[in-house]
Chains A and B, each alone.
Chain A
Amino acid sequence: MTKITAHDLAKKQKEISVAEFFERNKHILGFGNQTRALITSVKEGVDNSLDACEEANILPDVYVEIKNHEDGECKVIVEDNGPGVVKKQIPHIFGRLLYGSRFHAIRQSRGQQGIGISAVVLYGQLTTGKHTKITSKIEENTPAVVTELAIDTNKNRAEVIGTGTAHWDKTCGTRVEISIMADYKRGKRFVYDYLQSTSIVNPHAQIIYKEPDGIEHFFERTSEVLPKKSVEIKPHPYGVELGTLIKMAKHTKARQLNSFLKTEFSSMGDRTTNSAIEKAGLEKTTNPKSMIREEFLSLHKAFKKVKIMAPSTDCLSPIGETLIKRSLKHETKEISPEFIITTSRPPSVFSGQPFQIEVGLVYGGNLPKEETVKILRFANRVPLLYQQGGCVTTQAISSIDWRRYGLNQPSGKGIPSGPAILLVHVSSTLIPFTSESKEAIADVPEIENEIKLAFRGCARKVQHHIHKEVKRAKTREKFDLITKILPEIAKKSAHMLDKPVPVLDPIITKIMDVVWIEDIVEYVKVDREPIQTTLTGGTPEEQREGTITKSRIMVVNYKRNPQKFNLYAIIPEEAVVGEVSPNPSKITSNYIKWNLDTIHPANKIDVNFELAGLEKGDFDENDLYIENINPAYVIGADKWEGD
Chain B
Amino acid sequence: MVNKDYSNVIYRIDAVAAKIYEDFQKTEIPFLNLPTRTKSNIKFDDKLNVWKYGKSITERTAKSLDGAYMLLRTMYMADFIKEMIKINKSSTLREMYYISEGWDLAKFHSQQESNLLAEDLEVITSCMREDFKLRPEEDGARVIGNLTIEEMTRNNTKKKIHCQDDVGDAGYSIPYNVEPEKITFKGIDADFVIAIETGGMFDRLVENGFDTTHRAILVHLKGQPARSTRRFIKRLNERSNIPILVFTDCDPWSYRIFASVAYGAIKTAHISEYLATPASHYLGVTPSDIENYDLPTDNLTKEDVSALKSELTDPRFQDSFWKGEIKLQLKLGKKSEQQALAKYGLDYVTDTYLPEKLAEIGITRK
- Answer whether residue B253 sits at the interface, using C-beta atoms and an 8 A cutoff: no
Residues A485 and B79 in contact in the complex (CB < 8 Å), given A496-B17, A506-B27: no
From 478 to 492 in chain A, residues with beta carbon under 8 angstroms from any chain B beta carbon are: 478, 480-481, 484-486, 488-490, 492
Residue contact A502 to B21, C-beta cutoff 8 Å:
yes
A493:B27 contact, CB within 8 angstroms: no
Known contacts A499-B21, A502-B24; is A489 also within 8 Å of B68 by CB? yes
CB distance from A128 to the nearest CB of B (A): 71
Minimum CB–CB distance from A496 to chain B (whole Å) comes to: 4
Q: How far is the CB of A191 from chain B (nearest CB, A)?
A: 53
Which residues of chain B from 67 to 85 have a CB within 8 Å of any chain A CB? 68-69, 71-72, 75-76, 78-79, 82
A586 CA / B28 CA spacing, docked (Å): 42
Q: Which residue of A480, A495, A504 is within 8 Å of B24 (Cβ)?
A: A504
Report the minimal beta-carbon distance from B80 to chain A, rounded to whole angstroms. Answer: 11
A486-B62, A489-B72, A492-B79 given as contacts; is B18 within 8 A of A497 (CB)? yes
Q: Which of A478, A488, A494, A502 contacts B72 (CB 8 A)?
A: A488
Asked if B105 contacts A510 (CB within 8 A), the reply is no
Q: Are B27 and A489 in contact (CB under 8 A)?
A: no
Report yes or no: A490 in contact with B17, Cβ–Cβ below 8 A: no
Question: Which of B25, B28, B69 lies in contact with A485, CB distance below 8 A?
Answer: B69
Q: Bin the interface of chain A by size.
A: 20 to 34
CB-based nearest A residue for B13: A496
Q: Is there a chain B Cβ closer than 8 Å to A507's Cβ?
A: yes
Interface string of B293-337 (1 = CB under 8 A from A): 000000000000000000000000000000000000000000000
B30 at the interface (CB under 8 A from A): yes
In the complex, the answer to whether A497 meets B21 with C-beta atoms within 8 Å is yes
A-B contact count (CB 8 A): 71
B65 touches A496 (CB 8 A): no
B1-41 Cβ-contact flags toward A at 8 Å (1 or 0): 00000000000011001101100110111100000000000
Verify if B366 is at the interface (C-beta below 8 Å from A): no
Q: A493-B24, A507-B27 are contacts. A488–B14 as well, Cβ < 8 Å?
A: no
B188 within 8 A of A: no
Query: Is residue B89 within 8 Å, beta carbon to beta carbon, of the partner chain?
Result: no
List, in ascending order, chain B residues with CB within 8 A of A484's CB.
105
Docked Cα-Cα span, A495 to B13, in Å, equals 13
Partner of A477, one of B18, B24, B65: B65
A511 within 8 A of B: yes
- Of all chain B residues, the one with the shortest Cβ separation from A505 is B27
Taking a contact as CB atoms under 8 Å apart, the answer to whether A485 and B68 are in contact is yes
Digitize B27-64: 1 where CB-to-A-CB distance is under 8 Å, 0 elsewhere. 11110000000000000000000000000000000111
Closest B residue to A503 by CB, please name it. B24
Question: Shortest Cβ distance from A511 into chain B, in angstroms?
Answer: 6
Closest residue of chain A to B19 (Cβ to Cβ) is A493
Expressed in whole angstroms, the Cα–Cα distance for A60 and B64 within the complex equals 58
Which B residue's beta carbon lies closest to that of A495? B79
Find residues 458-490 in chain A having any chain B CB closer than 8 Å to their own CB. Answer: 477-478, 480-481, 484-486, 488-490
- Most chain B CB neighbours (cut-off 10 Å) among A481, A493, A496, A502: A493
The chain B residue sitting closest to A480, CB to CB, is B65
Q: How far is the CA of A251 from the CA of B27 in the complex (A)?
A: 89
Least Cβ–Cβ distance between A71 and chain B, in angstroms: 67
Contacts of B25 in A (CB 8 A): 502
Beta-carbon nearest neighbor of A491 in chain B: B75
**Given A493-B21, A504-B24, A507-B27: A481 in contact with B75 (beta carbons within 8 A):** no
B62: A residues at CB distance < 8 A: 481, 485-486, 489, 507, 511
**Given A489-B71, A496-B14, A497-B18, list of 12 further CB < 8 A pairs?**
A481-B64, A485-B65, A486-B68, A489-B30, A489-B62, A489-B75, A496-B78, A496-B82, A497-B17, A502-B21, A507-B28, A510-B27
Residues of chain A touching chain B, judged by Cβ–Cβ distance below 8 Å, are 477-478, 480-481, 484-486, 488-490, 492-497, 499, 502-504, 506-507, 510-511
Across the A-B interface, give the 6 residue pairs with the lowest CB-CB distance, nearest first.
A502-B24, A496-B17, A492-B75, A506-B27, A493-B21, A493-B20
Q: List 28 A-B contacts (CB under 8 A).
A: A481-B64, A481-B65, A481-B68, A485-B65, A485-B72, A486-B62, A488-B104, A488-B105, A489-B68, A490-B21, A490-B24, A492-B17, A492-B79, A493-B20, A493-B75, A494-B21, A496-B14, A496-B79, A497-B17, A502-B21, A502-B24, A502-B25, A503-B24, A506-B27, A507-B30, A507-B62, A511-B29, A511-B62
